[in-house]
Structure 1
């Protein structure tokens, strides 16, 4: 029974978080804003993105970073070209080999994001990338409102599984 209620709570929480994400993108339309969406499961990221694209009237673009991406700014400029989408989702940060360098360069170039991009930028992060942003790019990270969490932190998965097993 505990496992079932945890599952129901997780689904309700995920739905509310998805709505918060959609609202955050809508509110900042036409202006740069940084939105951090924290999700430790890549499949869950894709599910949420699919829902947003399907049900949102906004023109949402997605860039999936490659492991050899060196700078976030350049990846975005290259990915969008001359267009300014209504919202941009960046996924794949967890796959970048030189992630620390990418995050540091993002912090250094942070003002270029505000000057060049007129849309909400959603960075999909996991717990590890979120910690690195806090330590390596505090100025850039501070531009984000509160982080929208779309699943449990990694250390809470164990607790939920243990509760379900003991039920």
Structure 2
């Protein structure tokens, strides 16, 4: 099981969330599943990914979306080619300029995800992207089990709030 030191890597709830994410990836076992990982901090996402790759035996691939990405399905197929990784993490949704169009096209193409991908797909989202998925891609979003939330540790929440105020 994954073990995180609270003082170094976040709160106990983040430890539980990381464990849930690792378990969801492991249980998918060669079949498509949609996993939503919600975290409002890009640095926190990277910390969780570092822990997963360090402690998980799964071959987890990662795609960082470009701001000009127009369809998620095409971005994935272009990046993985004919390979089928054990798991695929998608990051960078918050940076996509035409995010509404990307989400709508994802909902339209949702059946292709299940037909073509035999691995868990982890979408890293923030609260805003999660709301957009609910409104613009409800059928696709419904494929996901409960969203796994990665809360920022209290000291990072304070820093995040101060940065938002000064911006």
Q: How does 1:92-131 map to 2 (within 5 A)?
A: 92-131=92-131
CA contact (8 A) 1:36 1:124 kept: yes
* Residue matched to 1:33: 33
- Contact preservation (8 Å) 1:29, 1:87: no
Q: Deviation of residue 17 (structure 1)?
A: 0.2
CA offset at residue 29 of structure 1?
Answer: 1.8
Give the distance between the partners of 1:118 and 1:50, measured in 2 at CA. Answer: 23
Higher Cα Rg, which structure: 1
- Separation in structure 1 between the aligned mates of residue 128 and residue 35 of structure 2, nearest angstrom: 17
Query: For residue 83 of structure 1, what is the aligned residue in structure 2?
Result: 83
Tell me the residue number matched to 1:137. Answer: 137
What is the DSSP-based 3-state SS (H/G/I as helix, E as strand, rest coil) of the residue aligned with 1:79? helix
Output the CA distance in 1 between the equivalents of 2:150 and 2:29. Answer: 21
CA distance in 2, matches of 1:98, 1:121: 21
CA–CA distance in structure 2, aligned partners of residues 52 and 33 of structure 1:
18
Instruction: Please state how far the C-alpha of 1:44 moved relative to its aligned partner.
Output: 0.3
Q: Classify the secondary structure of the residue corresponding to 2:85.
A: coil
Cα displacement (A) at 1:27: 0.3
C-alpha distance in 2 between matches for 1:94 and 1:144: 19
Deviation, structure 1 residue 150: 0.5
Hey, what does 1:71 align to over in structure 2?
A: 71
- 1:52 paired with 2:85, answer no
Name the CA distance, whole Å, in 2 between partners of 1:97 and 1:28.
Answer: 31
Q: Does 1:13 align with 2:13?
A: yes
Distance 2:137 2:100 in 1: 9
Tell me, what secondary structure is at the counterpart of 1:34?
strand
Moved >3 Å (runs of 4+): none
Q: What is the TM-score of this pair, normalised by structure 1?
A: 0.85
Secondary structure, in 3 states, of the residue corresponding to 2:89? strand
RMSD: 1.5
